[in-house]
Structure 1
Amino acid sequence: MREDPSGRGRHGDIPFGNRHLTDDRDVFEHNAWDNMPWDEEMEREAKEMVERQKTAKVSEEKGRSLLEEPANYWDAFYANHTNKFFMDRNWLLKEFPELDTQQSETSMRALEVGCGVGNTTFPILDLDKDKKLFLYSCDFSPKAVEVLKGSEKFDPSRCTAFVWDITQSPPPDAPPPSTLDLVICVYVLSAIEPKKLHQTLLILRSLLKPGGSLLLKDYGRYDMAQLRFKGDRLIDDNLYCRGDGTLVYFFDSDELDERLREAGFEKEANVVDRRLIVNRAKKVKMQRVWLQAKYRRPL
């Protein structure tokens, strides 16, 4: 599972909804429960599962191949699925109210990183009723960008799309330094090899105006997707390959905060979204863990 496209949330002390499970007997009354705390036993079991995965890591040769050409695997993914895999992220405004251009008195410029085939691009443009926003959308899969630009929804007067591996220097199509109000990374940083993350964050920071914001949502440590991995998937600590060869890393909140501060960002919000997803028909409970964060380039 890549993500839960129905996620909800907001920045604050009590994020992500108010459906709280107060009696375990009611667990199958709804499909999801918000702000679910973990007890010591759950944490211990999760750690033990991850430790067991270390006994069946991918081979050194396979791991090296997966890390050397990650874009190739995403290109193959989009060539296979085109625009039929992910759902549009229509929850964006609830989690990132900064995207509400109706609350802004001036025009805005934003970069969406890892745009894929437009599941974030088009919802963002739909939110921009007054057409105050110009959106740059990039992905390191040429096939994804091709599908995005071929959509009837694509409007080149409001958006530009281009190929960019954000671990590398910006291409000519990228926005100039210090010109962006927002950079949006939804399930993007987890697809980057950890040793390349610092340089990536420095590049993204350089594109923001002083005071501009980096909006993040990504996978948290011990999310269900991490615990479900079987043998021949673990490359390095908390870094995995899916069956199609694409990479995914699971962040700890403190670790993510440290990496962003090292790159010169200031924290505005960094919260852990722990949610219990329920399959009521099969009586199955699934623990999801996501991180949502907002950091800014200092003034």
Structure 2
Amino acid sequence: MKDEPIMACAEENPDEKPKCNPFGTRFLTDDTKVFEHNAWDDVEWSPEQQEEAQRIVQGQKSMKVDEEKAMRLLSTPADQWDAFYAHNENRFFKDRNWLLKEFPELNVEDESNLQKEKIEILEVGCGVGNTTFPLLQVNNSSSRLMLHSCDYAPNAIRVLKSQDAYDPEKMNAFVWDITQPASQEAPNVGSLDYIVCIYVLSAIHPDNIKNALKNLVRLLKPGGSLLLKDYGRYDLTQLRFKKDRLIDGNLYCRGDGTLVYFFDMEELETLLAEHGLQKKVMHVDRRLIVNRAKQVKMYRQWIQGKFLKSC
């Protein structure tokens, strides 16, 4: 694949919020109506909720993973995911059919792409294709798309490439640990229009995230975009962890041994800026999920962002 012509940088608009999200835009203005719907958007926490979350996380520090287990998990993070996909194949995750609502530029026919002769997208941490195949389907009629997909779990790539929908004319799936230099199968330096990172950086040890970002940013065109969604600090997932899950700081292990880190928005923005990525959009998606049958409230926090590579 040849490098594409350099694009001009888009105008930065840091105050813009995502155009949409999977649940639409529903705001809770009357607490007595909280159980009338399954989800509410941009629900601000009270000071008491914030203090309770901090108390829970502080309490987790007395129940950390033992040092030997932590060292084992940290030394072979790809092995845990590889074992996960070997066991689950393509039966665990659902397809992310909400992608174009949050990231409409991934549609080849979006107005931001109309002047481009070719569009190259890299999905990082592709797993078995729950982002890859929905993107291919929505853009299947376009001859301008080249979709790259990488994961550091060989079993994930094996499952993805074995599926009938895999089209080697439009797709390039390969194994790559993004904390290491790019493999020969990776797209060319400076060739990508978009990099999609959904729950990817949180699966990497914080000490290795800088290497990962450096390697990814090299592949973006000037003016190309990194599209991000990941776990925010004090998300329900973090607060639910019990004994033997906290490794250190805000880094945890799940029951299957895979790692997950919970970001503060300013921390993540600083990391991205250090690697030449300018904020276009960044938003903490504070979602209140409601189990109406059981009258239970569940508070989720994700960080969404769009970042441009400096010209």
| TM-score when normalising by structure 2 | 0.91
1:6 equivalent in structure 2: none
Residue identity opposite 1:156 in structure 2: P
The aligned amino acid for 1:221 is R
Distance 1:93 1:243 in 2: 31
Of 21-30 and 66-75, more deviation after overlay is shown by: 21-30
* 1:211-222 paired onto structure 2 within 5 Å: 211-222=223-234
Name stretches of at least 5 consecutive residues in structure 1 with no aligned partner.
1-10
Alignment partner of 2:119 out of 88, 92, 108: 108
- Pair 1:291-2:303 in alignment: yes
Q: Does 1:85 align with 2:92?
A: yes
> Counterparts of 2:231 and 2:218 in 1: how far apart (Å)?
25
Equivalence for 1:36 = 43
* 1:146 aligns to 2:158 (yes or no): yes
- Deviations for 1:117-149, whole angstroms, at most 9, x for unmatched residues? 000000111121323210110000000000000
Instruction: Kindly indicate whether the alpha-carbon contact (under 8 Å) linking 1:239 and 1:247 is maintained by their aligned counterparts in 2.
Output: yes
- Counterpart AA for 2:235: D
Partner of 2:60: 53
Deviation at 1:176, TM superposition (A): 1.1
The whole-number CA distance in structure 1 between the counterparts of 2:171 and 2:20 is: 31
- Is 1:98 aligned to 2:105, yes or no? yes
RMSD value, Cα: 1.1
- Determine the C-alpha separation between the residues in 1 that align with 2:200 and 2:18: 25
**What is the alpha-carbon distance in structure 1 between the residues aligned to residue 161 and residue 132 of structure 2?**
11
Cα distance in 2, alignment partners of residues 294 and 259 from structure 1: 14
Aligned with 1:55: secondary structure?
Answer: helix
Q: Quick check: 1:70 aligned with 2:77?
A: yes
SS at 1:101's partner residue?
A: coil
**Which residue does 1:7 correspond to in 2?**
none
Q: CA deviation at 1:23?
A: 1.2
Q: State the alpha-carbon separation in 2 of the partners of residues 130 and 15 from structure 1.
A: 24
1:271 aligned onto 2:283: yes
Unaligned runs of 5+ in 2: 1-15
In the alignment, which residue of structure 1 is the partner of 2:147?
135
Contact 1:15 1:273 in 2 (8 A): no
Amino acid corresponding to residue 113 of structure 1 in structure 2: V
Q: Does the 8 Å contact 1:213/1:295 carry over to 2? A: yes
- Given residue 268 of structure 2, which amino acid in structure 1 is its aligned partner? L
Report if aligned partners of 2:278, 2:307 keep a CA contact under 8 Å in 1.
Answer: yes
Contact 1:241–1:247 (8 Å) recurs in 2: yes
Distance change in 2, residues 1:13/1:167 (3 Å): closer
Is it true that 1:12 corresponds to 2:17 in the alignment?
yes
Q: Do 1:109 and 1:133's aligned partners in 2 also have CA atoms closer than 8 Å?
A: yes
TM-superposed CA distance for 1:159, in Å, is 0.3
Residues 20 and 101, structure 2, Cα contact 8 Å, conserved in 1: no
Tell me which amino acid in the other structure corresponds to 2:226. L
- The amino acid that maps onto 2:131 is T
**CA displacement at 1:13 relative to structure 2:** 7.4
Question: C-alpha distance in 1, partners of 2:170/2:98?
Answer: 21
User: Shift of the alpha carbon at 1:60?
Assistant: 1.2
Instruction: Check 1:100–1:67 CA distance in 2 against 1; reply closer, same or farther (3 A cut).
Output: same
- Between the aligned partners of 1:81 and 1:125, the Cα distance in structure 2 is 23
Residues 189-204 of structure 1 correspond to what in structure 2 (within 5 A)? 189-204=201-216
Superposed displacement of residue 288, structure 1? 0.3
Say whether the 8 Å CA contact 1:224–1:288 is kept in structure 2.
yes
> Take 1:51 and 1:130, find their aligned partners in 2: how far apart are those partners?
51
Alignment partners' CA distance in 1, 2:142 and 2:261: 37
State the Cα deviation string for residues 257-284 of structure 1 (Å, max 9, x = none): 0111111211111110000001111111
The answer as to 2:133 corresponding to 1:122 is yes
